[in-house]
Amino acid sequence: MRHSRRTCSIGWPNPRSTPNDSAATSSASRTLPTVPARSPPTVHSVRARSHGDSRNGQRLTHAALTVCERGEPGGGGAWDSVVVRLPLVARSGAVAEIRAAVERARAGRGGLVLVTGDAGVGKTRLAEEASAAADGLRVLWTWCTPGAALRPWARVVRTLAAERETGEIVRRSTSLAGLAGLATSPESRDPETARWWLSLDLTDLLRAAAPVLVIVDDLQDADLSSLRLLTEIAPALRSAPVLVLATARDDEAEWRGREEVRATLNRLGARVRLHPFADAEVAELAAATGAAPAVVRTISRRTGGNPLLVCELLASGADPDSVVPSSVQALVAARLAGLPEPARAVVTRAAVLGSRFRLDVLAELAGVSLSDVGERMDEAAGVVERVEPGIGRFRHELIRDAVYDVLAPGELAGRHRVAADCLIRRAGRGFDVDAAEIAAHLLRAGAPEGADWATRAGQEALRRLAFEDAAAWYAEAGRCLEAAGAPWEERARNGIALGEALTASGARPRARACLLEAADRAERAGRMDLVAEAVLGIGAGRAGFEIGLLDQRQIDLLERLREEPLPDVLRALVTARLSVALTFVGSPQRRLELATDAVTEARASGDDVAVAAALAASCDAMAGPEHCHERLAAATEIVEVAQRIRDPRLVLLGRRLRLVALLEIGRIGDADAEITAYRVVAETVGHPLYTWYVPLWRGMRALMQRRFDDCRASLAEAAALGERAGSDNAAVLVSTQRWLLCAESGDREGLRGMLAELDQAALPGAWPHITRALLLAQLGRVPEARDQLDAVAPLLPGMVRDSEWLPAMAQLAETLAVTGPRAVTRWVRDALTPYAGLYAVEGIGAAVRGPVRQFLDQLDGQKPLTDNEFRRDGEYWTVRWSGVESRLRDSKGLRDLGALLAAPGRPVAALDLAGVVVESDTGPMLDTHARTAYQRRLRELETEADDADATGDAGRAAKIGAEREALLAELTRAYGLGGRDRRAGSSAERARTAVTARISYAIRRIAGTDRALAEHLRRCVRTGTFCVYDPESPVDWRT
């Protein structure tokens, strides 16, 4: 198929043009054309009447119309393919924006551009302008069809699969090969994992094809999965020579039910909005036809400046005294009335098939020969046309809609039934027919087979990783099954499939309701294995990233399942899930026993996902302070298992658990590296259920460093993402961090609001009373705080030592620092003493209250809670250590020390400290010298690790492992997200020498006022190619 520019300014192509409307499914195996860049067009064009209108014929010979074409000969009928080129009007600003976007893409800064406007306003014509301006870029066209899952991207992948270099990428990727129909996609245990790899592989494919311009026409007709996939790949294209240009209607009705993804697209892409023609622009367009001013005024008034109608009516040569149609429906009705009956019958049947259709299918549907279809289409050339061998379409989607609306409802049902039967016969003969296309016809016909074909359509959508469309088809199938009174097992299977598709698409509340209903139906059918599958689906899949707590319905089902003879893998997963679901309501001992049993059962089953889920359950069951190192080991194994099976959700679950354990044992630098590693994966997955933790933890670190404005910004981002995800954890942890921010920044109004919320909640247990006591103390209501402490004292010995216990004890210590000693003081000190080496962490890293040993010191009255400070204030630094405070004038060495003390245990390149940095669109990146130094240090660490292992030095091996992990995380941050290399201003050796000298000089200055601190820094700060602050025991600094 050869591409040529469309001949109408409003996006109606000539018979040889790239398709504008949706593709017939059976033609989906065709590849897209790779369009050579061409000089930009400077004219619009319209079709002109050439039979029975001498006046219009005279206009065609007008001297101003210098360019004319004639399409295929022998078209016949009222409208043939004579083309009139008219000047381009009213689009200079939009053209300039599009050309600028193309230039940015050519320079390696691509992304997404949305061309929006009403139907017929010229969006596709502007896309052609982009194609023509894309010198040096490969141009790919694709288009969208209602209900066809991921078809726009399937066409792009198939096109690139036909080329040597990009074809190899497609063949190596199971997700891309499955999307293109070149291989059968293996079923994934975790749908989101498969979707993650699809978005990643598609991004890599487009980068490999670069420089490239992908034009996606009629985006409002795209299935939800195609839209979501576009939101997933768009951010990564900003740093690549890849531009996606999509045309879309602005009508709100076109986007009903998809408003959120539309808002995301508008946020991710630049928007070019097209408007109807003004009167002057209509006159300019009409000038080339020599139309009388009266005609121009009439057309402008009756069309409202809609370019589609303007061009059509100018081409019709309307008389000033004639009645000019004011809508496409009126225009089409007039044309249909003028067609011979055989041509009208073919056109109305074509409308049932869609905007784009196969001619052989149309022939079979109309009961005529293929040659007869061709003749009838020639007679209706103003309405339909052939765009490539065997393929026809309506000249515009609005025209197809108008023809379809002419048909009576009863007539439509019958024709859809006939169309479905025709497609089923063709599928039986081996033709490529989408189940979705057959299902759509059957459902419109009200046929009983609609449920079966809708289920098949859902399965096909799942195989293509189009989860949103799969959910829509399963829902349709479910309605049909309900209406037909299908067996309970069949309805249960449908509900599980619908629930899993909804979970994969992110609609978790709806998924939970569907899965619980499916569990009920499975139990009625006596299929307890299906009950298990349904219940496990409630916690975001088998791994259970976020499991609802205090859910008695879920607990009851899991308890009942424990008594059933389930397969080994299901039994292990059910046992693990029950252990987590019993949080706050079951005994700690039973929860730990269940988790231990789950690990044993999972290992025996040999199922990696079950092993990871069981280990995660064990981390929850032993969340208290005495198990920090055990949890760290278990979480590390989860990450290793997840990376082995390439499951990003499990990777994130493991890293989340690792982060909390690292914070608790005071490895703040390693925790920073863990946040970075988590962010890399979470941003690639892109789902808010996983991404909201990143700004939460960024706010936590900002709060530790008293950067209150940064903390507020991060909190707002975490709250917004958490709300989009429907995450209960997000609401709780955001509120917790906001409380600490209010306390640290002195926001008494905020504290009063927190206290009011806590009073209204009326939560059970001791910890709400502890929190209330601290809030009262922070508000200066000391007598009330003392009363609250005395009231809670009897409850303290009975508190479970879970994840909330240590921060609750820290809250008590903070309260006692304000109220003075109480009867409970000694008990709190004795309870905290065994954990002096740990840090008190709120929730899943919402906040770090500080090291336990400082709370103990505070209880003993030795020193304030936050004693150590190394903070710059203008031209001076405030340095405080063990009660000794100094003020030192600013220097580069003090800045270096401040950076190291802010990230204990984390190696920092001397090049970074030296300031050899430039900024890029994605933030500061490592320069080539830093990268080389990092890689050299990694090789050194490998040798050192071997030596440590050989000598059995576990402590040294652990430190080497932490440094290696931090370096790997830094390399990932710098090069894993599409950043470009930065230039180095000096060599690594010069940076090492300079930084070492200025840090040594800064420590000598500190020794002049605080010899103890200087000695501490000499012992714990190592300089060289990489510098690090590595204290013997955790030290909390305010920086």
Per residue in 253-292, pLDDT (tens digit) is 778 778 888 888 988 999 988 888 877 777 777 776 677 7
> Residue 21 above 50 pLDDT?
no
> Residue 924 above 80 pLDDT?
no
Three-class secondary structure of residue 691 per DSSP: helix
Separation of alpha carbons 882 and 1035, rounded Å: 11
Alpha-carbon distance values, 97 to 50, 207, 217 (Å) = 37, 23, 18
Report the pLDDT averaged over residues 156-180: 87
Give the pLDDT band (50/70/90) at residue 697.
Answer: very high
> Residue 998 above 70 pLDDT?
yes
> Residue 116 above 50 pLDDT?
yes
* Structure confidence at residue 921 (pLDDT): 38
Report the pLDDT averaged over residues 46-72: 28
> Residue 251 above 90 pLDDT?
no
Report the pLDDT averaged over residues 727-752: 91
* Structure confidence at residue 883 (pLDDT): 67
The better pLDDT of the pair 294, 213 is held by: 213
**Nearest Cα residue to 303 out of 328, 275, 286, 320:** 328
Are 657 and 639 within 8 A, CB to CB? no
Strand order in 270-273's β-sheet? 34-35, 138-143, 212-217, 242-249, 111-117, 270-273
Stated length of the chain:
1039
Phi-psi domain of 101 (left: phi exceeds 0; alpha: psi -120 through 50; beta: other): alpha
* Structure confidence at residue 987 (pLDDT): 63
Q: What does the pLDDT look like over 503-540, one tens digit per residue?
A: 777 777 888 899 999 999 998 988 998 998 898 888 65
Report the pLDDT averaged over residues 363-385: 87
Q: What does the pLDDT look like over 568-603, one tens digit per residue?
A: 889 999 999 998 888 878 888 999 999 999 999 999
Question: Vertex 782, ends 778 and 787: CA angle to 5°?
Answer: 115
* Structure confidence at residue 214 (pLDDT): 94
* Structure confidence at residue 641 (pLDDT): 93
Token match 């005395």: residue? 790
Report the pLDDT averaged over residues 331-359: 85
Report the pLDDT averaged over residues 440-452: 90
Give the pLDDT band (50/70/90) at residue 751.
Answer: very high
Separation of alpha carbons 570 and 745, rounded Å: 49
> Residue 701 above 60 pLDDT?
yes
* Structure confidence at residue 975 (pLDDT): 41
Q: What does the pLDDT look like over 612-646, one tens digit per residue?
A: 999 999 999 999 999 999 999 999 999 999 989 88
* Structure confidence at residue 382 (pLDDT): 74
Separation of alpha carbons 802 and 583, rounded Å: 10
Angle between helices 648-664 and 628-644 (to 10 degrees): 160
Separation of alpha carbons 917 and 171, rounded Å: 40
Strand order in 68-70's β-sheet? 43-49, 79-87, 68-70
**Nearest Cα residue to 232 out of 505, 591, 522:** 505
Count other Cβ atoms within 10 Å, centred on residue 263: 11
Most confident of the ranges 137-146, 281-290, 545-554, 626-635: 626-635
* Structure confidence at residue 882 (pLDDT): 72
Give the pLDDT band (50/70/90) at residue 982.
Answer: very low
Report the pLDDT averaged over residues 193-214: 86
Per-residue burial over 156-192, b = 16 or more CB atoms within 10 Å of its CB, e = otherwise = bbbbbbebeebbebbeebbbbbbbbbeeebeebebbb
Torsion of CA 416, 420, 423, 427, to 10 degrees: 170
> Residue 918 above 60 pLDDT?
no
* Structure confidence at residue 960 (pLDDT): 64
> Residue 720 above 80 pLDDT?
yes
Q: What does the pLDDT look like over 832-856, one tens digit per residue?
A: 999 988 999 999 999 999 889 889 8
Lowest mean pLDDT, pick from 38-42, 190-194, 313-317, 535-539: 38-42
Residue 93: Cβ-neighbour burial (10 angstroms; 0-12, 13-18, 19+): exposed
Kindly report the backbone phi and psi dihedral angles of residue 11, in degrees, each rounded to the nearest multiple of 5, phi listed first.
95, 25
User: Three-class SS string for 739-766?
Assistant: HHHHHHHCCHHHHHHHHHHHHHHCCCCC
Radius of gyration of the chain measured on its C-alpha atoms: 34
Compute the Cα dihedral for 758, 762, 763, 769 and give only its sign. Answer: positive
- Count how many Cα atoms sit within 13 Å of the Cα of residue 356 in the half-sphere of its side chain: 26
Report the pLDDT averaged over residues 959-983: 50
Three-class secondary structure of residue 25 per DSSP: helix
In 379-458, DSSP assigns E strands to 384-388, 391-394
Both structure tokens of 829? 């000190």
How far does Cα 192 stand from its chain's mean position?
11
Q: What does the pLDDT look like over 769-828, one tens digit per residue?
A: 899 999 999 999 999 999 999 888 999 998 988 888 999 999 999 999 888 888 889 999
Q: What does the pLDDT look like over 309-330, one tens digit per residue?
A: 777 667 655 554 454 455 666 7
Kindly report the backbone phi and psi dihedral angles of residue 875, in degrees, each rounded to the nearest multiple of 5, phi listed first.
-90, 0
Are 934 and 970 within 8 A, CB to CB? yes
Lowest mean pLDDT, pick from 405-419, 469-483, 546-560: 546-560
> Residue 922 above 90 pLDDT?
no
Separation of alpha carbons 183 and 520, rounded Å: 37
* Structure confidence at residue 724 (pLDDT): 78
Beta strands 138-143; 34-35: pairing state: antiparallel
Token match 């270099």: residue? 165
Separation of alpha carbons 1006 and 1004, rounded Å: 5
Token match 């209150």: residue? 708
Q: Please give the mean pLDDT across all residues of the chain.
A: 78
